[in-house]
Structure 1
Amino acid sequence: MSSIREVAKLAGVSVGSVSRYLNGQQLKAVNMEKIAAAIDALDYKENIIAKGLKNNRSFSVGLLMNSISSQFGAETVSAIEGVMEAKGYSILLSGFKGDVSQVNKKIDYLMQHSVDGLIVFMSEQDWDGMERLADLPIPVLTINSPVQLAGVDRVQVADRKSVREVISYFAEQGHQRIGLLAAPQNDYVARERLIGAKEALETHPEAQLVTTFGDYSRLSGYRGAEELLAQDITALLVTNYNMAMGVLEFLQQSKDPRSQQLLLAHYDYTREMADLLPNRIIIKPATAVIGQLCGERLLARMADPTSAIDEGVWVENELFGLGGNLLPDGKQR
């Protein structure tokens, strides 16, 4: 097994430079390239256990999630893991499946395993003990949290803005009865998306929002599309990916001619259908960007706990449709 001294010798730098590189510190670009090349050439592997004991660190990060099974969560976790693994950290994943009474237990579990930092994914406003995150002795970052806590970094997804832009676009194209298939309002993200739709109508009073609610299931999407189409909508926005799949199944089977003319917008994780179909708009979450930003920010905070807090860093979704990237004014990129 190669040693750090061998890496330094091959790279033509000091052992201290290699050590600083491995700890995530910035060096001259040329030296960083030499060290990276030497590490690859020698297949150097750090002894993480020994390094952790020396620095009183576990080189692990806790990730507490509401839903581990969602595609949004899985893609974001994958991006976070990629950033962390590149710096020698592992992820300890724990989920509470919508049961906020389990959150404190889950935090205790992660802290007992001496994680060096914590990411809390999709916190809920009705978790009474949320303030505890501000008191933890490690850096903490939240994703889509409804509140800003003192000393806690916060990354938000601009869902309200995305929905507002799509509904505004519908209205500007002359649609006066606009359908909205929303998710249950006990969820912060679902509330943000519904607020965005209502905000759009404040500047487009000529349009009417026809709203029904699903339960995140494909079946509720199928039934919701059937209900809304019967109310003479000409455009529809679906605020959840699973429900959107049910809507698509209904439209495929429907013999109602209005279903073929419907302008549809929905959340999805690829843009292909927006490129292929003339009546489709896709809201694509930037999961890779979110995960990378969270991973890099937490690493920076762990390296320097006194660094400034990111209060409400917003990540924009991507909008695709009608032949290109959709702008708020309806023009194409």
Structure 2
Amino acid sequence: MVTIQEVAKEAQVSVGSVSRYLNGHKLKEQNMQKIKQAIETLDYKENLFAKGLKSNQTLSIGILMNNMQSVFSSTLIAQIEEEMESHNYSILLNSYRNKIDKVAAKIDFLLDRKVDGLIIFEGEPEWPVYERLQTIEIPVISVNTTLDYPHVDSIIVNNRQSAKNMISKIIDSGHDHMGVISVPQKSSVARDRLNGTFDAFSEKGLDDSDYQIFYGDYSQKSGYQGAKTLIDQGLTTIFVTNYNMALGSLQYMFEKGLKLGEDISFACFDYPGVSDIFYPRLTTVRQPVHKMGTVTVNRMFERIKNPTIKNEIIQLENEIHWGNSIKEWK
């Protein structure tokens, strides 16, 4: 491995000059060019880990999430990692896979690695383990769930309002009988999305006889069964609050030969670009996944640079994309 001393010798400058250059200090233009050229010639790679230890930082951020395999998770992780790299930081990723009793050990694992910050996806505030976040000295950011602790920031989206807006527009398009495929109401995200649909039903004057709710389990299989159950009951307008279940619902509709926007009206929550592959274009609530990643990383480095700033709840907006999968009644 090439050393800083070898770079200095190649550039014919002092080791101190090379060190200052690597730390972003301004030098004489001639010396900066010589050092840059030496680094390229020797293919010098800075030891960021050793550099971090000297400054009492490991240049890494811990991330704890439930499911790494979902489209949401993989897209968000990719965005966060890309943003981290621009700061010369890396991520240390861990998951608990619906095993809530493992969360405390997972947090300890990340803290034992001396990460400089912690990002937690969809942790629920009623979990007792999260009370300890009040005493953690590094910056903590909660993504997709509000954790209202003094030293924790929360990055959330307006799931309830966007679900209400979507359902309201569907009703205004002439659909006053509807089936909703939802997930178990065990998380704040799930509750917000379903409560948003109830808000719209209430505001538009619909009662219990005007809609049916099918509760799935996040899987495509349950979405398939949900669509079958609701369509067998004669419902021709379906809204799905989870993307995986939406895929299962669409599978059933395609197998039955139902034409979207004609025989059946359909809308769902989506991720950037995914619904664009369908024809006709789906009507979706699209989550700002890439923006969530960028905002999360930016906020993390604000907290790293200034640990005393007040915590914030930052709410981002979902987008409603109105496609041709909802039949417009004249």
TM-score, normalization by structure 2: 0.83
What is the one-letter code of the residue matched to 1:243? M
The answer as to whether partners of 1:281 and 1:321 remain within 8 angstroms in 2 is yes
1:318 paired with 2:309, answer: no
What corresponds to 2:135 in structure 1?
135
Aligned length: 308
Report deviation, 1:65.
0.7
Provide, for residues 49-90 of structure 1, a one-character-per-residue CA deviation record: whole Å limited to 9, x for no partner. Answer: 221121011111100111122110111111111111111111
Give the Cα separation in 2 of the matches to 1:276 and 1:249.
12
Counterparts of 2:260 and 2:157, CA distance in 1: 33
Structure 2, unaligned runs of 5 or more: none
SS across alignment from 1:98: coil
Q: Conserved in 2, the CA contact under 8 Å of 1:79 and 1:291?
A: yes
Q: Which residue of 2 aligns with 1:24?
A: none
Please tell me the residue identity of whatever aligns with 2:313: G
Query: Can you list the C-alpha shifts for 1:121-176, whole angstroms capped at 9, x where unaligned?
Result: 11024411211112101111101224311111110022112211110011111111
1:230-286 Cα distance to aligned partner (Å, 9 max, x none) = 233232111111111111111011156899521111123344645864573022221
Query: Does the 8 Å CA contact 2:81/2:90 hold for their aligned counterparts?
Result: yes
**Aligned partners of 1:148, 1:247: CA distance in 2, in Å?**
36
Equivalent pair of 2:284/2:323 in contact (CA under 8 Å): no
Q: Distance in 2 between matches of 1:233 and 1:217?
A: 21
Q: Could you tell me whether the CA contact under 8 Å between 1:274 and 1:322 is conserved in 2? A: no
Q: C-alpha displacement at 1:312, in angstroms?
A: 1.7
- Range with greater deviation from structure 2 (133-142 or 224-233): 224-233
Name whichever of 99-108 and 278-287 sits farther off: 278-287
CA–CA separation in structure 1 for the residues paired with 2:258 and 2:268? 20
State the identity as a percent: 33
Cα drift, residue 17 of structure 1: 7.8
Specify which of 206, 217, 221 is matched with residue 223 of structure 2. Answer: 221
Contact 1:62 1:117 in 2 (8 A): yes
Relative to structure 1, the CA distance from residue 179 to residue 55 in structure 2 (aligned partners, 3 Å threshold; closer, same or farther) is same
Answer yes or no: is the 8 Å Cα contact 2:272–2:287 preserved in 1: no
Match of 1:246 in 2: 248
Deviates further, 227-236 or 48-57: 227-236
Gaps of 5+ in 1: 22-26
Q: Which letter maps to 1:19?
A: N
Matched residue SS, 2:320: strand
**CA-atom RMSD, angstroms?**
3.2
Find the aligned partners of 2:105 and 2:222 in 1 and give their Cα distance.
33
Q: Which has the larger radius of gyration?
A: 2
Secondary structure of residue in 2 paired with 1:261: coil
**Cα drift, residue 18 of structure 1:** 6.0
Pair 1:270–1:258, CA change in 2 (3 A):
closer
Change (3 A) 1:288 1:259: closer
Distance 1:211 1:154 in 2: 30
Aligned to 2:147: 147
Q: Measure, in 2, the Cα distance between the counterparts of 1:297 and 1:258.
A: 41
2:97 maps to amino acid: K
Superposed, which structure 2 residues align to 1:1-333 within 5 Å?
19-20=23-24, 42=40, 45-206=45-206, 208-254=210-256, 260-271=262-273, 273=275, 277-278=279-280, 280-309=282-311, 311-322=312-323
Rate the CA distance shift 1:101–1:206 in 2: closer, same or farther, 3 A: closer
Residue pair 2:146, 2:154 contacting (<8 A) in 1 also: no
- Asked whether the equivalents of residues 274 and 281 of structure 1 are also in contact (C-alpha less than 8 Å), the reply is no
Question: Which amino acid in 2 is paired with 1:267?
Answer: F
- Give the whole-Å Cα distance in 2 for the aligned partners of 1:151 and 1:188: 21
Q: 1:274 touches 1:320 (CA, 8 Å); kept in 2?
A: no
Q: Which moved more, 1:229-238 or 1:249-258?
A: 249-258
**How far apart in 1 are the matches of 2:244 and 2:170?**
22
Q: Distance in 1 between matches of 2:254 and 2:161?
A: 29
One-letter amino acid matched to 2:197? A
Distance apart, 1:16 and its partner CA: 5.6
For normalisation by structure 1, the TM-score amounts to: 0.82
SS in 2 for 1:180: strand
What do residues 83-105 of structure 1 show as CA deviations (whole Å, max 9, x unaligned)? Answer: 11111111111111111111111
Q: Indicate conservation of the 8 Å contact 1:64/1:121, yes or no.
A: yes
